[in-house]
Amino acid sequence: MNGDRHVTGRTLAKHLGQWRTEGNGAVSPAAYAELAERIKLLVLDGRLPVRTRLPAERELATALTISRTTVAAGYDLLREAGFLHSKRGSGSWTTLPETPGVQHLSPFAPAGDSTALDLAYAATAAPTAPFAAALNWATERVTHHATGSGYQLFGLRSLRAAVAARYTARGLPTTPDEVLITSGAQHANALVFATLVSPGDRVLVEHPTYPNALDAIAREHARAVPVGFTGTDWDIDTIAAAVRDACPRLMYLIPDFQNPTGLCMSAEQRAELVELGRRTRTPLLVDESVAELPLDGEQLAPLASHLPEHSSSPIITVGSASKTFWGGLRIGWVRARRPMIDRIARSRASVDIASSVLDQLITQHLLDAIDTVLADRLPRLRSARDHLRGLVTRHFPGWTASAPTGGLSLWVDLDAPVSSALVSSASRHGVLLAAGPRFGLDGAFERFLRLPYTLPEPCLDEAMERLTAAWLALSSDPAPTGGWPSRTAEVA
């Protein structure tokens, strides 16, 4: 098995960032282990895909200004751990271990059951009583569908009607024919990219953004064009300039509690972006995965509601039951004008012909009871958000946590480019995290970390204690500007 991709020494050095714990420039005796650990993290969180051929030892040593012996020893450790495979004459390429029963922890490829506290995923547990009621209701009705094949490309008509009714109630009149049911929001995004994007096309994305969307764009051999935020907001002028310069095939946006920053786009900005898309004839893919989770203030109308009724400009909205109800409920949807829905459905037919009937029925019942679910869920999330921000302030006075008005996570400035190192250290202390660069391109956001507040508050307390220990384990470095956490802060 030869590597499907190749990474140069210079590129790998950029991805590795500040991988050494020594701050004086000297190579520590354990430098090879640190190098192996950082490469392993790049493989696990998807920044270095499996079957990527690594640079030769001498090339990487030159790029990192270390000895070839250090690189060779690091590669040896990776081979022993099952993260690297080598063949004489063909080089070395990344793999994943195949040891039965061993859990390998990866922020965006679930590792299954673990004793670790999982802060890599922004997802809540299911609402117990409403979910049980929905399951009982769905079980009674699934037999009515069992006499047929179960294959419904567009999804159950009853669920499509429930999704359409929800959009209509939020200010975006929708009919069932304008809804396609999918197996989660990521499935929906991937279908849209597969339908609209061709190899070589450009897709404009916010920077940072949802990592799996970046992966889906890359899978189509397209190029993500990043547009950063100005301060803590979208800069419509900058986006317009990027559209003018790059001529993207599509814009991918998360206006409601943006992942990972938690920002919420104003109604005025939504209207401006719709007008930009209409004027430049650029389709908009709007990810509303967490739109139902406003924690402060009122929920804003969908971005697509700003599109004039008879406009032909395509705005495609993606939603999901996973963030609102439960991640194990693999149901999402696409909302668009009927011709676009038909086009996406034709694309779907070649890879996936239907979603689970039982899951669709469960989701239908939960949507009918969404006000009850959110009346219980939103206060809990609001309390957990405030609790976690307080813990960050107390344990890590040098960090700066965002204050999102909704969604499921904080975006934290670590005051030092150590995100990947901290994630690696945290995994050894039983906390799973997603490094900041996972949310960007070309190694950006090494100073940042996403912290979901989806665990129960006692678990967040324990996670912050473990994270403090992981942070202190990095303290052989000179202290960042904000300083390392004090022992007083640790026990406060």
Taking only the tens place, the pLDDT of each residue in 298-346 is 999 999 999 988 777 899 999 999 999 999 999 999 999 999 999 999 9
pLDDT in tens, 433-465: 999 989 998 778 888 999 999 999 999 999 999
User: In the CATH scheme, what architecture does the domain 117-122+372-491 have?
Assistant: Alpha-Beta Complex (3.90)
Beta bridge partners, 250, equal 203
User: 162 pLDDT band (50/70/90 cuts)?
Assistant: very high
As given in the structure block, the two tokens for residue 147 are 């006499």
What is the C-alpha separation between 416 and 399, in angstroms, rounded? 9
Pairing relationship of beta strands 431-432 and 434-435 according to DSSP bridges: unpaired
5-94 CATH choice from 1.20.120.530, 2.60.120.560, 1.10.10.10, 3.40.50.2300: 1.10.10.10
Exposure string for 130-161, b = 16+ CB within 10 A, e = fewer: bbebbbebbeebbeebeeeeeebebbbeebbb
What is the C-alpha separation between 235 and 228, in angstroms, rounded? 8
Q: Of 61, 156, 63, 186, whose CA–CA distance to 356 is shortest?
A: 156
User: What is the CATH class of 128-369?
Assistant: alpha beta
What is the C-alpha separation between 19 and 36, in angstroms, rounded? 10
Q: What DSSP state is assigned to residue 447? A: T
Q: Of 305, 325, 363, whose CA–CA distance to 134 is shortest?
A: 363
Give the model's pLDDT for residue 114. Answer: 58
User: What is the pLDDT averaged over residues 24-36?
Assistant: 68
Give the model's pLDDT for residue 487. Answer: 36
Termini Cα distance of the chain:
53
Segments of 245-384 assigned E as strands: 250-253, 284-287, 315-320, 332-335
Contact status, residue 180 vs residue 344, Cβ threshold 8 Å: yes
Helices (H), 224-303: 236-246, 267-280
The pTM of this model reads 0.81
Which residue carries 């949807």 as its tokens? 333
What is the C-alpha separation between 417 and 422, in angstroms, rounded? 10
Distance of CA 154 to the CA centre of its chain: 26
The residue type found at 404 is P
Please state the domain extents for the chain: 5-94, 117-122+372-491, 128-369
Q: What DSSP state is assigned to residue 176? A: G
Which residue carries 């764009």 as its tokens? 217
As given in the structure block, the two tokens for residue 213 are 């969307």
What is the C-alpha separation between 204 and 192, in angstroms, rounded? 14
The residue type found at 219 is R
Q: Tell whether the torsion through CA atoms of 356, 291, 414 and 239 is positive or negative.
A: positive
The residue type found at 83 is F
Q: How many CB atoms lie within 10 A of CB 97?
A: 11
User: 4 pLDDT band (50/70/90 cuts)?
Assistant: low
pLDDT in tens, 371-409: 999 999 999 999 999 999 999 999 999 999 999 999 999
What is the C-alpha separation between 242 and 225, in angstroms, rounded? 8
Exposure string for 462-491, b = 16+ CB within 10 A, e = fewer: ebbbbbbbbbbbbeebeebeeebbeeeebe
Instruction: Give yes or no for residue 431 having a pLDDT over 50.
Output: yes
